[in-house]
Structure 1
Amino acid sequence: MPSARAHDLITVLSGAAITPLAYYACLEFTPIAPDTALACSLWLGGAHLLSGIMFSPDLDIDSAIDNRWGIFFWIWRPYMWLIPHRGFWSHSLVISPLLRLGYFAAVGYGLAFAVVWGLGQLGMTTPAYHREWAAWVQGLIRAHSTETWAFVIGFCTGSAAHTIADWLVTNGNGLLGSYGRRLRQRYRDHDQWRPRHKRRR
């Protein structure tokens, strides 16, 4: 498989290509205004980068990707334990990025709820942050539905760039192998995985 650095380069280059294409498509094939088309293309491009770099399909293993979350790496541990590596749930084109996005939203909601509940147990009255956050997200989606769709599409394309690159390398390696050739680099440990006892946090 391509290395984490190669995946990042693929994500950046594909994002740079898809953003102006999205702007052109919005102007040519939708009735939205130019300023909305620009906003949608930027949201799509930004979501593409965010998905490919921070919400990579390789979050399903202990990898260089979850290291990017710093002290919050633990957020992805339950996801890592539950999702098989390189299976449908982690490396599909649409379902897996939406699953990661939903998982992250659920973790954020759960943490907000835990804070409110914990402070309540200590006798402190606080706003229902989890409900306020959920209501804010719902209101944002309703008020900016077009930009929301652009974000969701970009989030899926960012993950797809990673998955398609994996498919191409895997299938290309198999094709070359059938003719008695081998790729010089097998890309084992493509995500720079190291055993936990050798990692530094």
Structure 2
Amino acid sequence: MPSGRTHDRITLWTLPIVAGSTLAITRHSALTLAVCMGYLFGGLMLGPDLDTHSIHYKRWGWFRWIWIPYRGSLRHRSMWSHAPITGTTVRVLYLLLWLGLVSSAGIAIANEIGHLGWSWDEIGEFLRRSLQQYGKEAIGLCVGLELGAFSHYIADWSVSTHKRRKSRRRR
């Protein structure tokens, strides 16, 4: 399999292709930015190898502990970590679960200490309005996340296929 550095290079070297293609298709700079941000985050931080002690895992620094349960519950290269769409969806939902827990605790503490008076209804309404207003950008971000992971899958698949063919020729 390609090393973490190779996956990073693939992500960085293909970013201009993703940006140019997205801009040509959408003719919308904000959507292009959302796709590119998702692509970089998906390729460099939220990659399929978070289920191992990988460069993706190490990049989370102090926050890498949030990925320990994920690593312990998934087999490397299982359909839940390395399958297109499914793998990205699982990682995004897992990250959103942690963000939701931390945000909820933070809001509860801020309300208690600072008497801010934020209600869960107000927060829900804010999130709903934001998704309505920036729905296309949110979809672009998701597409970018999947493309970032997809570049990883393609690199892994290409190397595996090449190794298989090479070993068959030796027999």
Per the shorter chain, which TM-score range? 0.7 to 0.9
Q: Call closer, same or farther: CA 1:107–1:7 in 2, change over 3 Å.
A: same
Quickly say closer, same or farther: Cα 1:133–1:49, change in 2 above 3 A. farther
Deviations 1:137-173 (A, max 9, x none): 4332211111111111111000000011101101110
TM-score (norm. length: structure 1): 0.76
Query: C-alpha separation between the residues in 2 aligned to 1:84 and 1:128?
Result: 41
Q: What's the CA shift string for 1:110-138, capped at 9, x where partnerless? A: 12334456789x98866568776655443
Q: Which residue is equivalent to 2:18? A: 18
Distance 1:125 1:60, change over 3 A: same
- Cα distance in structure 2, aligned partners of 1:94 and 1:177: 30
- Show CA shifts across 1:30-63 (max 9, x none): xxxxxxx111111101110110100010001122
5 Å matches for 1:11-160?
11-27=11-27, 37-115=28-106, 135-160=125-150
- Contact 1:109 1:130 (8 Å CA) reproduced: no
Q: Secondary structure at the match of 1:179?
A: helix
CA 101–131 in structure 1, closer or farther in 2 if over 3 Å, else same: farther
Is the partner of 1:158 in helix, strand or coil? helix
Which has the larger helix fraction?
Answer: 2
Cα 1:126–1:16 change in 2 (3 A) is: same
- What's the TM-score, normalizing by structure 2? 0.88
* Pairwise CA RMSD: 2.4
Counting aligned pairs with the same residue, the percent is: 27
User: How far, CA to CA, are the matches of 1:42 and 1:164 in structure 2?
Assistant: 23
